[in-house]
Amino acid sequence: MPHEDNRPSPEQLLERVERQERREKRGRLKVFLGYSSGVGKSAQMLDEGRRRRERGEDLVVAATQPKSTPECNALLAKLEVIPTLKIEGQDVIDVAAVLRRNPRVVLIDGLAYDNPPGSRHPRRSGDIDEILDAGISVITSISLQYIEEFQDEIELITGKRATQFVSRKFLEKAAEIVIVDAPTEEHRLSRLREMALLLAAQVVDVQLRDYLEEHGMEEVWGNQERFLVCITPKSHALRMIESGQRNARRFRGELYAVYVRQNALSAEDQVMLERNLKVAEDHNAQVMVIEGDDPMKAVLTFAREHGVTQIFIGHSLGHGLLQSFQRTPVERLIEAANGIDVRIFPQ
């Protein structure tokens, strides 16, 4: 990336400061995420509560799960609990009591509950927001199956949908998200397990990028594989895109198809180009048309900005002796593509 891009604009700086201020006043949200109930979220969370308490942190419990294991009960016995309210037979966090008690940290076991009518907030996540706004930190837990955005996929796997859920955004807002992992023999559960691990990885990825951006660090580590297929009118797009799609699927990565706009395309080239872009779209690639006098430079700039780890490019096998003395565009790309693999498709 060119150096001058490093400097943030005044608006960006202001936003950073505001974000910082908001964060300083608000409590911190920490979420324990498990792929299913019974993986040990509650125990791990309560154990963290116990350790914090032993270190002298002012911590209370504001909600527990209806059914507790003996292990959890033993941990709970060591902690201060603010009893929940009973509204229509349901446990509802006593937000007013929590605010009066004003501890440093509140432990809330189970995030994805709807509160009964007549409660302070329709959902428990609303209670949590209010507590956070008061400057109190919250530690809470959730199972993957209660995340709104995953309902379709989970229904395919388990045949069930949740009736109460929270949005993925709520998790992404959390300052910290911890995965509670445990092995399983059951095929369906292991699919949920994989989803939960990848969700955590994505949240970490987003947070990491924010962090690096805020600190003006430009590090691309390729933790997530990203594939970029270079599209031209003459490229054998199908082969490259199919391979890109297979790679992206296998690596749980992302797939881009990029065309650097050229002027004065022949009618025939225009048709081929459109066909190639259509192929990319049909294979769920993120299709981008970019500008640049030097196509290779434009592709590389895009690749750097998007954290691409592999560039797929076609290379026509030209003839003639003269060519062997000049560097081809593909050669220049390879030489300049520091840290990015280049896969060449002969054509």
Partner 1 sequence: MIRNPSRGHLKIFLGYAAGAGKTYRMLEEAQKLKSENIDVVVGYFEPHARKDTIAKTVGLEMIPRRRIEYRGCAFEEMDTPAILARHPKVCAVDELAHTNVPGSERTKRWEDVLEMIEYGIDVISTMNLQHIESLNDQILQITGVRVRETVPDWVINEADEVVMIDVTPEALINRIKRGVVYKPEKAQQALQNFFKEATLGGLRELALRQAAHEVELRQEDSQNRDEVPGPASEMDARTQEQPQNADRILIHLTSHPSSAMLIRRGRRVADFLRAECFAVYISPTGNFFHLSVEEREAADRHLNFARSLHIETRVLQGADVTTALVDFARHQHVTQIFMSRSALAQKTFLQRNLVFRVLRLAPDIQITVVAERSRPKTA
Which positions lie near partner 1, rule CB under 8 A?
A: 6, 30, 51, 55, 153, 156-157, 159, 175-183, 187-188, 190-191, 193-194, 197-198, 200-201, 204-205, 207-208, 211-212, 215-224, 243, 246-247, 249-252, 310, 315, 317, 321, 324, 328, 331, 334-335, 337-347
Select 294 or 335, whichever has its Cβ closest to partner 1. 335
> With the CA atoms of 102, 107, 109 and 112 taken in that order, what torsion angle do they form, in degrees rounded to the nearest 10?
60
Select 178 or 258, whichever has its Cβ closest to partner 1. 178
Shortest spacing between CB 87 and partner 1, in angstroms: 33
Shortest spacing between CB 347 and partner 1, in angstroms: 7
Shortest spacing between CB 135 and partner 1, in angstroms: 18
- Tokens read off for 108: 């809330």
Instruction: List helix spans (H) across the chain.
Output: 10-25, 41-54, 70-76, 95-101, 124-133, 151-158, 168-173, 187-214, 237-251, 267-282, 295-305, 329-336
What's the helix, strand, coil split of the chain in %, to 5?
45, 20, 35
Select 235 or 310, whichever has its Cβ closest to partner 1. 310
As a whole number of angstroms, the distance between CA 150 and CA 165 comes to 10
- The answer to whether 59 and 107 have CB atoms below 8 angstroms apart is yes
Shortest spacing between CB 243 and partner 1, in angstroms: 8
Best CA proximity match to 55, nearest among 16, 3, 105: 105
Shortest spacing between CB 273 and partner 1, in angstroms: 22
Sign of the alpha-carbon dihedral angle for 317, 286, 2, 293: positive
Other Cβ atoms closer than 10 A to 102: 13
Select 121 or 343, whichever has its Cβ closest to partner 1. 343
The residue type of 7 is R
Shortest spacing between CB 201 and partner 1, in angstroms: 4
Select 148 or 214, whichever has its Cβ closest to partner 1. 214
Select 263 or 338, whichever has its Cβ closest to partner 1. 338
Element containing residue 260 per DSSP (H, E): strand 254-260
Distance of alpha carbon 114 from its chain centroid, rounded? 25
Shortest spacing between CB 156 and partner 1, in angstroms: 5
- Tokens read off for 186: 């059951």
Shortest spacing between CB 29 and partner 1, in angstroms: 12
